[in-house]
Amino acid sequence: MSILKTEIDTDPEGRGYSSMTNLEIANDLNVVYRTKNKTSMTGSEILNNIVIAEWTPLTDAQKRTVWDVVHLSDINPFGVEAQLLIAVFGVGSDTIASLAEARKYDVSRAQELGIPYVYEGHVIDAKLET
């Protein structure tokens, strides 16, 4: 509850909690409007975001690099793996744009704070916490 209390009291995102009812605060915290970075991706996720028209003209060595990356057991979408794929496909490629989107996922403010879902009662309890 202390995380929720701090969020409501400080309103770091400027959502206007002070002018909302408890139910409105709960509803606002549950709206999915933010993104969070994935910490890992599967090879299948990477492979399914490769644009075939950009794959075909790659050299065998470039294809081997991509193949090696997608066969890692745990792919860091912000690590060396990402840099290797950028080197192969190029910064402005559709594949890299697609992968940049795929390495994020949508969350609510509550989920971002580590709270799966906020109910009106949670808001009431948080406001009563000292």
What would the pLDDT profile of 74-111 be if each residue is shown by its tens digit? 999 999 999 999 999 999 999 999 999 999 999 999 99
Q: What percent of the chain has pLDDT over 90?
A: 97
In whole angstroms, give the CA distance from residue 58 to residue 90: 11
Q: Binning pLDDT at 50, 70 and 90, where does residue 72 land?
A: very high
Express as a percent the part of the chain with pLDDT over 70: 100
* Average pLDDT of the residues in 19-24: 98
Contact 108, 120 (CB under 8 A): no
118 class by beta-carbon count within 10 Å (0-12 exposed, 13-18 middle, 19+ buried)? buried
Q: How many angstroms separate the CA atoms of 123 and 130, rounded?
A: 13
pLDDT at 1: 78
- On the question of pLDDT at 130 being above 90, the answer is no
Q: For residue 15, is pLDDT > 80? A: yes
DSSP 3-state of 27: helix
Q: Taking the CB of residue 64, how many other CB atoms lie within 10 A of it?
A: 12
The answer on pLDDT for 129 being more than 90 is: no
| Reported confidence tier of residue 13, pLDDT bands at 50, 70, 90 | very high
Domain boundaries, the chain: 2-32+109-128, 43-102
The mean pLDDT of 34-47, rounded to a whole number, is: 96
In this structure, what are the phi and psi dihedrals at residue 32, rounded to the nearest 5 degrees?
Answer: -85, 105
Q: Supply 57's token pair.
A: 């003209």
pTM value is 0.75
